[in-house]
């Protein structure tokens, strides 16, 4: 932007060296800030490669004195089922969210019914309701439906975090699709379902992927709904697993930390490989507890 | 922020909507539209409207574990609320909630803003570093909390180690001292919330025209004056949205507290949300009482939620009708 313009206007060698040094200073400070913010994450990675005896040391070692993968082996054997359950919750949340949100977003952009704007307001407001209120009611509702302790129960509850977010981001995206495309297809005899499927869905790929990725993270990272609506040890997700580990009388810290590292992996992958979708998601109305 | 995107979408949608108005509004088209909305309408009714209404109903009933066996939940009017307000833990939970919210918002916002302003400068690695800072925000909140259990450990934690290195020799029991438990969960929550504030405020800062700063510099304004008279007023809409959203989300905080202190010791770090959970699911299984506490929280949250909607969606309403 204008900064680069000013630099271009001054070709002298001395100035460019000075500006390069200054940029270096900024980068160093920037790294320091990021390092400070990321230190807790570094810390779990650090502890996850240690033995219990190394963790219970004062001062705590800043790098593993006797690096080991024992904790990961232990985590995979005790928390393997948790990881699988979290994955199922994540994928299930994506599926439910897409089925509900994509048609709704299409209807909101294409058919201007009064009930549409009402729905949008209801979604945004409802998503703000405390998770406990929703879970407290769903507990007895799912109990009478015989759904407690099933994957479906937690997935349905998890999707309540994701659906409003998905509708908002898809709607914003679909509103930018030129109406001429739909009109042309209509002239060629395409019905609304066809227009939705062959024009709107493919063209809003970015929004779909963003909504999908975040829905997965919501399902993967959910704690409250799984804690309240599931009591089946086989369906326990990684979050509730870690919660139970920490609450135990003697905590096997290395494997808890290794499990925590595994739990953070999806978010890290998302940030490394799908950064532009993350950016799209955040700007579209960051919905997280 | 929703606002930013909606505004952008509105710009591109405007000509299209004008064209739409010229088309005849067919009745059948509206029916098709309704069919596409149907899954969402059913969903909202079943998973939002029903639970919220049912929670209110439960709060007026004597709804306990026995109800699940006998199916009986006698109507008791406002008894649950009466019981709740006179509960010895009610006012402490309310006070904790206020401190937790105020502390979280203040530090998340100021630190988030400071970092956002810092990253306005262009320097190598800027983008990557900004992306990395987001990880704590995308990680499962329960995990972020669990990390702090280690960091704040009395004997082997890094925080106490750092404090000792600065010369203080006492033992600080972050997690078991009743006077410190709320501060401990607050620290963790601030850390989790900074990235969100930073990202939104960064977007807001980017939208302020550079020319204004250049003109102010030429007029001799110093850094503080530029912040005070350009950044602060022009960032206000974004700041308001961030703070309102932050308020709503902080009132809903659950995972952080559950993973670090579980509301303890002796309920000293209990906020309304976690206390409501403990009333219903851990201490006595009094679902009606928990629902009553949930109601109170719900009213507060939805009140601020409406305020947010009014503020942030003024433009949205203009573009949808």
Q: Could you tell me the CATH number of the domain that includes residue B170?
A: 1.10.3720.10
Q: How far apart are CA B294 and CA B80, in angstroms?
A: 11
pTM for this entry: 0.88
Q: Is the pLDDT of residue B223 over 70?
A: yes
Cβ contact, residue pair B36, A196, below 8 Å:
yes
Mean pLDDT of chain B: 87
Q: How far apart are CA A50 and CA A68, in angstroms?
A: 6
Cβ contact, residue pair A163, B30, below 8 Å:
no
Q: How far apart are CA B254 and CA B258, in angstroms?
A: 6
* Closest in A104, A124, A130 to B294, CB measured: A130
- Is the link from the previous residue into B16 a cis peptide, with omega within 30 of 0? no
Largest CA distance in chain A: 78
**Closest Cα in chain A to B211:** A2
Contacts of A117 in chain B (CB under 8 A): 317, 320-321
Q: Is the pLDDT of residue B309 over 60?
A: yes
Mutation target among B27, B43, B53 for the A interface, most CBs of A within 10 A? B43
Contact A93, A218 (CB under 8 A): yes
Contacts of A44 in chain B (CB under 8 A): 147, 150
Residue A13 has a pLDDT of: 58
Residue B143 lies in a domain: yes
Which residues have CB under 8 Å from A155's CB, separation 6+? Answer: A88, A89, A92, A93, A96, A219
Domain enclosing residue B256, as ranges? 92-269
Which residues have CB under 8 Å from B146's CB, separation 6+? Answer: A242, A243, A246, A256, A260, B259, B260
Cβ contact, residue pair A221, B155, below 8 Å:
no
Residue A113 has a pLDDT of: 67
Contacts of A71 in chain B (CB under 8 A): none
Residue B166 has a pLDDT of: 92
For the stretch A79-101, what's the b/e string if a residue is b when 16 or more beta carbons lie within 10 angstroms of its beta carbon? bebbbebbbbbbbbbbebbbebb
* The three-state (H, E, C) secondary structure of chain B, written as one string: CHHHHHHHHHHHHHHHHHHHHHCCCCHHHHHHHHHHHHHHHHHHHHHHHHHHHHHHHHHCECCEHHHHHHCCCCECCCHHHHHHHCCCCHHHHHHHHHHHHHHHHHHHHHHHHHHHHHCCCCCCCHHHHHHHHCHHHHCCHHHHHHHHHHHCCCCCCHHHHHHHHCCCCCCCCCCCCCCCHHHHHHHHHHHHHHHHHHHHHHHHHHCCCHHHHHHHHHCCCCHHHHHHHHHHHHHHHHHHHHHHHHHHHHHCCCHHHHHHCCCCCCCCCCCHHHHHHHHHHHCCCEHHHHHHHHHHHHHHHHHHHHHHHHHHCHHHHHHHC
pLDDT digits (tens, 9 = 90+) for A10-46: 445 556 888 888 888 999 999 999 999 999 999 999 9
Contacts of B29 in chain A (CB under 8 A): 111, 192
Interface predicted TM-score of the whole assembly (ipTM), two decimals? 0.87
Regions of chain A where pLDDT drops below 50: 1-11, 286-289
Cβ contact, residue pair B139, A44, below 8 Å:
no
If you search the block for the tokens 């499990």, which residue do you land on?
Answer: A259
Residue B247 lies in a domain: yes
A70-283, CATH topology level:
MetI-like fold (1.10.3720)
* Closest in B138, B144, B214 to A217, CB measured: B138
pLDDT digits (tens, 9 = 90+) for A209-229: 989 999 999 999 999 999 999
User: Is the model more confident about B166 or about B30?
Assistant: B166
Q: Is the pLDDT of residue B129 over 60?
A: yes
Mutation target among A48, A59, A62, A128 for the B interface, most CBs of B within 10 A? A128
Residue A284 has a pLDDT of: 57
- Please report the residues numbered 37 through 66 in chain B whose beta carbons come closer than 8 angstroms to any beta carbon of chain A: 37, 39-41, 43-44, 47-52, 54-55, 58, 63
User: Is the model more confident about B73 or about A38?
Assistant: A38
List, in sequence order, every residue forming a beta bridge with B61; answer none if it has no partner: B75
Contact B271, B96 (CB under 8 A): yes
If you search the block for the tokens 């909140």, which residue do you land on?
Answer: B141
If you search the block for the tokens 């998890």, which residue do you land on?
Answer: A158
Number of domains in chain B: 1
Domain regions of chain A by residue span: 2-48, 70-283
Residue A17 has a pLDDT of: 83
Residue B308 lies in a domain: no
Q: How far apart are CA A176 and CA B124, in angstroms?
A: 33
Q: What is the mean pLDDT of residues B259-284?
A: 93
User: Predicted confidence band at B313 (pLDDT cuts at 50, 70, 90)?
Assistant: low
Q: How far apart are CA A249 and CA A245, in angstroms?
A: 9
């Amino acid at each position: 932007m204008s900064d680069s313009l000013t630099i271009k206007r001054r070709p002298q060698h001395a100035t460019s060296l000075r500006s390069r040094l200054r940029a270096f200073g900024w980068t160093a400070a920037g790294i320091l800030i990021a390092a400070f913010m990321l230190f807790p994450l570094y810390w779990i990675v650090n502890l996850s490669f240690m033995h219990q005896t190394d963790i219970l040391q004062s001062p705590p070692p800043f790098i593993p004195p006797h690096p080991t993968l024992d904790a990961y082996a232990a985590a995979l054997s005790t928390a393997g089922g948790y990881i699988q359950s979290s994955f199922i919750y994540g994928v299930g949340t994506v599926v439910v969210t897409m089925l509900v949100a994509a048609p709704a977003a299409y209807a909101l952009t294409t058919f201007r019914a009064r009930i549409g704007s009402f729905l949008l307001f209801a979604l945004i407001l409802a998503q703000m309701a405390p998770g406990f209120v929703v879970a407290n009611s769903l507990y007895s509702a799912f109990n009478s439906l015989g759904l407690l302790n099933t994957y479906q129960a937690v997935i349905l509850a998890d999707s309540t975090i994701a659906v409003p977010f998905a509708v908002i981001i898809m709607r914003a995206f679909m509103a930018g699709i030129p109406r001429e495309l739909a009109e042309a297809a209509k002239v060629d005899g395409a019905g609304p379902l066809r227009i939705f499927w062959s024009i709107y869905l493919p063209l809003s790929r970015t929004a779909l992927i963003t909504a999908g990725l975040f829905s997965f993270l919501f399902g993967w990272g959910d704690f409250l709904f799984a804690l309240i609506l599931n009591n089946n040890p086989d369906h326990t997700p990684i979050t509730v697993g870690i919660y139970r580990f920490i609450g135990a009388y003697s905590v096997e810290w290395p494997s808890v930390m290794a499990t925590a590292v595994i739990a953070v992996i999806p978010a890290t992958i998302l940030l490394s490989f799908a950064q532009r979708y993350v950016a799209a998601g955040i700007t579209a109305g960051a919905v997280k507890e | 922020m929703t606002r930013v995107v909606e505004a952008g979408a509105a710009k591109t949608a405007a000509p299209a909507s004008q064209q739409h108005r010229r088309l005849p509004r067919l009745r059948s088209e509206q029916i098709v539209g309704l069919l596409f909305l149907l899954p969402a309408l059913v969903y909202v009714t079943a998973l939002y409207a029903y639970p919220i209404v049912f929670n209110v109903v439960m709060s007026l009933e004597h709804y306990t574990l026995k109800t699940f066996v006998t199916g009986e939940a006698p109507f008791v009017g406002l008894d649950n609320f009466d019981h709740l307000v006179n509960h010895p833990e009610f006012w402490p939970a309310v006070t904790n909630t206020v401190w937790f919210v105020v502390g979280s918002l203040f530090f998340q916002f100021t630190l988030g803003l400071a970092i956002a302003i810092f990253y306005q400068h262009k320097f190598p690695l800027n983008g990557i570093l900004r992306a990395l800072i987001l990880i704590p925000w995308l990680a499962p909140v329960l995990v972020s909390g669990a990390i702090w259990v280690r960091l704040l450990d009395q004997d082997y934690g890094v925080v106490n180690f750092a404090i000792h290195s600065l010369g203080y020799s006492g033992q600080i029991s972050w997690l078991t001292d009743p006077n410190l438990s709320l501060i401990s969960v607050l620290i963790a929550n601030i850390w989790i919330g900074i990235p969100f504030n930073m990202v939104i405020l960064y977007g807001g800062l980017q939208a302020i025209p550079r020319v204004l700063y250049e003109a102010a510099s030429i007029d001799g304004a110093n850094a503080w004056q530029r912040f005070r008279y350009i950044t602060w007023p022009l960032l206000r809409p974004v700041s308001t949205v961030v703070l309102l959203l932050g308020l709503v989300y902080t009132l809903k905080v659950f995972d952080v507290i559950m993973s670090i202190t579980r509301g303890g010791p002796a309920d000293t770090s209990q906020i309304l949300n976690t206390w409501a959970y403990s009333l219903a699911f851990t201490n006595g299984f009094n679902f009606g009482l928990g629902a009553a506490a949930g109601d109170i929280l719900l009213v507060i949250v939805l009140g601020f939620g409406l305020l947010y909607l009014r503020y942030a969606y003024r433009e949205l309403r203009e573009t949808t009708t």
